[in-house]
Amino acid sequence: MKINKQNYIIYFGLNSFYEHKRGVENVIDFQSKAFYFDKIYYVHWGSKTTAYKNKKFICVSIKHCWYWPILLNMVLLIIYRKKKVIIHSHNSLFSFCSIFKTDIFTVHDGLYYLNKSKKGKFNFLFFIVEKFIYYRCTIVHFISNYTKEQSLFGNCKNFVIIPNTSHFEHAVISTNDAQIISNIKNILIVRSIEERARIDLLIEVADKLRGWNYKFIVAGKGPLLEYYKKEIHKKNIPNILMLGYVNDEELLHLYLNCDIVLMIAEYGEGFGLPILEGYLFNKPVIASNRCAIPEVIISKDYLFENSTDGIIKSLENVSNILPNNFREYYDRSFSNSIVLTKFKDLYSNILL
């Protein structure tokens, strides 16, 4: 659909597509499919300032140095010589320093909320940056009600709530893998290995369930990966495996062959993508009764409190809960087609 003769969009992201992160980069790639744009720019951090082509994206890497705001705005001035341009940002600092107003700003988790949750310093600075960004945006996009509630957005009306979806949807349809049948119950955890993921609690659960038929498989990298690997080795816990980073093909195989998806969160979980991906494979998901997770989970019966006993009880109860069609729930609430339609409407309204 074209509204003007030529429409351009600039996405503000974080990392190069070549560094394949399962996060903002995949979200932006998906969002760009919602609407026809004559040119799609992707601006992100990099080790040097350069431009390159990646599929439909004209990518611009901004060197992370003291004068990066100047580099960013030089790039924007060049692009804005063109036709109708909108900015859809996932990068707070880019939006804060841009001389052009951000049309759509996507909030995964509020800056001020996250910094407070991590007990970080300079809370007042995060407060100012977040407030200023909202002031300079045409529309603020939240991925959940929880994200909006924890933000500094307040009662303003220029917002929209559009949930996440999974970029694996097309791959699930085409996969030819056969599910492996085993007496062991494989519990899959897909997380960034950091404090808020509570891998320490997961290790306690695995330790208590030695000798049971549960195997905990953790896929993901992060700053605490090596620390937790050493803890598992030190305690000689045989039923938990920390895989580190796995590529998409390996992750699809893990989802297909797991029995339960487990998600522990302490704070900073504005949505809970592994929950959706579990449902995409028609797997039961049990998760913390925290953050935005109760909005996403199919039923409160699958929620637990963050304690070893709470998780173990939830694992034991999964088979006793009345069966659900998890894939149907995904298709009905979070499918690619539903989310794409919402973004198409959002972009249309901005361009009108």
Question: pTM for this one?
Answer: 0.94
**CATH code for the domain defined by 169-333:** 3.40.50.2000
User: What does the domain layout of the chain look like in residue ranges?
Assistant: 7-165+336-351, 169-333
Q: What is the pLDDT of residue 171?
A: 83
Q: What is the pLDDT of residue 72?
A: 98
pLDDT digits (tens, 9 = 90+) for 276-295: 999 999 999 999 999 999 99
Closest CA to 217 of 187, 174, 259: 187
Q: What is the pLDDT of residue 23?
A: 82
| 7-165+336-351 classified as CATH 3.40.50.300 | no
Closest CA to 268 of 237, 293, 246, 304: 293
Tokens of 293: 């997770």
Q: Which residues of the chain are under the pLDDT cut of 70? A: 1-5, 20-22, 82, 173-182
Closest CA to 27 of 90, 100, 109: 90
**Which residues make Cβ contacts (< 8 Å) with residue 310, sequence separation at least 6?**
304
Tokens of 50: 């350069």
pLDDT digits (tens, 9 = 90+) for 108-142: 999 999 999 999 999 999 999 999 999 999 999 99
Q: Are 133 and 278 in contact (CB under 8 A)?
A: no
Helix (H, G, I), strand (E, B) or coil at 65: coil
Within this chain, domains 7-165+336-351 and 169-333 share the same CATH topology: yes
Half-sphere exposure for 22 (CA within 13 Å, toward CB) = 22
Q: What is the pLDDT of residue 82?
A: 66
Q: What is the pLDDT of residue 179?
A: 60
